[in-house]
């Protein structure tokens, strides 16, 4: 089983995570058989190791982590690669990849420009 983990920063605000969850819901609407979960770096649960461990326990053989960061700051450059390295050590038989941050994706940048111009 392949699973997608949408990885975001987190916030103390209980409404902050709603857009991340909305993306997960849209993934499932477009691809009902796709397994997708949300994970957060801090201030919001669950964190990335808990989500990855749960997915592996559910039978995931590959994980794709999608960093939901517009800007590529310290969290995306330093914290996330360290988390990914630790996951690979903990689960050497699982194919774990990390996509570039969404803010580095030209499709999203084009969409944001379109929204701004509308």
pLDDT digits (tens, 9 = 90+) for 52-103: 999 999 999 999 999 999 987 777 778 899 999 999 999 999 999 999 999 9
32-36 own/partner pairs: CB under 8 Å, 24+ apart: 34/2, 34/4, 35/1, 35/2, 35/3, 35/4, 35/60, 36/3, 36/4, 36/5, 36/6
pLDDT in tens, 7-61: 999 899 989 999 999 999 999 999 999 999 999 999 989 999 999 999 999 999 9
What is the C-alpha to C-alpha distance for residues 69 and 49, in angstroms, rounded to an integer? 18
Q: Are the C-beta atoms of 26 and 34 separated by less than 8 Å?
A: no
Structure-block tokens of residue 77: 């450059």
Yes or no: is domain 2-117 CATH 3.40.50.300? Answer: no
Domain ranges of the chain: 2-117
CB distance 39 to 5 below 8 Å = yes
């Amino acid at each position: 089983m392949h699973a997608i983990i949408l990885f975001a920063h987190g916030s103390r605000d209980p409404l902050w995570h709603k857009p991340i969850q909305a993306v997960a819901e849209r993934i499932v609407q477009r691809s009902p058989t796709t397994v997708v979960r949300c994970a957060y770096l801090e201030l919001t649960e669950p964190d990335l190791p808990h989500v990855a461990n749960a997915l592996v326990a559910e039978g995931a053989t590959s994980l794709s982590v999608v960093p939901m960061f517009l800007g590529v700051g310290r969290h995306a450059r330093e914290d996330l690669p360290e988390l990914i390295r630790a996951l690979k050590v903990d689960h050497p038989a699982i194919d774990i990849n990390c996509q570039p941050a969404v803010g580095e994706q030209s499709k999203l940048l084009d969409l944001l420009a379109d929204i701004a111009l509308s």
